[in-house]
Structure 1
């Protein structure tokens, strides 16, 4: 076999492999766009049903998209327990968990302040994500009207 023939076969085979990979990546992106899930945050790998929000309201997924981090990820980064931020409509938010979160944030911020900007940004975003969830829990939700039932014949 001659060298030009071997080189041409390697180039053709390599281009076929790359072409198939690009086509599959495009198909996956099209599927993601149709289903409306985002795999860039990692929420889709966990099912994406709740998007990491502890609240049942519609603000949770919006906060997740804004901060690009789920509550679970934020709790893992700061090494705090993932607790419900509000036990009920009249229950106060647990301050012990919030103080633990702030202590963990300060400790990790000081540890990474001079070394890694990437880790520092993750720590700051984790604190912001949990703080946004707490603010969402503090806002009162308007009472839901009971569902209307059709008249009984």
Structure 2
């Protein structure tokens, strides 16, 4: 009798474990596909789409989290980030999850600003070389 119960427990555990692993794998695939669809449907350029996939957050979502306009102003970004980071500090009763989202949003926006700067530098170099 004990052997039968033991076999039922082991078999049940194996079934649940396989189902959980399959569900986790499907969720990861669905998440990656959604990020790819979001990046392509938004008409984003290739670098921005790559950053969306790498950071797991789109530029649009990042701007909504920090409550900033599409026009990226470094001073406004920094002040909103500092305010939201402080408000969500765990030692002050805030949420670590929300604080993490704020940090990820700022990282994503900083990355976009860097990409924009690199593009501007390339344009300047091209215009300078065509003037000569």
- TM-score w.r.t. the length of structure 2 is 0.57
Structure 1 residue aligned with 2:57: 69
Please, which moves more after superposition, 128-137 or 47-56? Answer: 47-56
Residues 76 and 10 of structure 1: is their aligned pair in 2 closer, same or farther, counting only changes over 3 Å? farther
Which stretches in structure 1 are left out of the alignment for 5+ residues? 33-38, 84-93, 144-153
Task: Check if 1:58 corresponds to 2:46.
Answer: yes
Structure 2 counterpart of 1:136, from 81, 103, 115:
115
Map 1:96-135 → 2, pairs under 5 A: 100-115=76-91, 117-135=96-114
The answer on whether the counterparts of 1:78 and 1:126 sit within 8 Å (CA) in structure 2 is: yes
Residues 137 and 121 of structure 1: is their aligned pair in 2 closer, same or farther, counting only changes over 3 Å? same
The answer on whether the counterparts of 2:32 and 2:53 sit within 8 Å (CA) in structure 1 is: no
The 3-state SS of whatever aligns with 1:69 is coil
What is the RMSD computed on CA atoms of the aligned residues?
4.0
**Distance in 1, Cα, partners of 2:97 & 2:83:** 16
The answer on whether the counterparts of 2:62 and 2:108 sit within 8 Å (CA) in structure 1 is: yes
- TM-score w.r.t. the length of structure 1 is 0.51
Which is richer in helix? 2
Residues 55 and 23 of structure 1: is their aligned pair in 2 closer, same or farther, counting only changes over 3 Å? closer
The 3-state SS of whatever aligns with 1:51 is helix
Please, which moves more after superposition, 117-126 or 127-136? Answer: 117-126
The 3-state SS of whatever aligns with 2:36 is coil
Structure 2 residue aligned with 1:21: 19
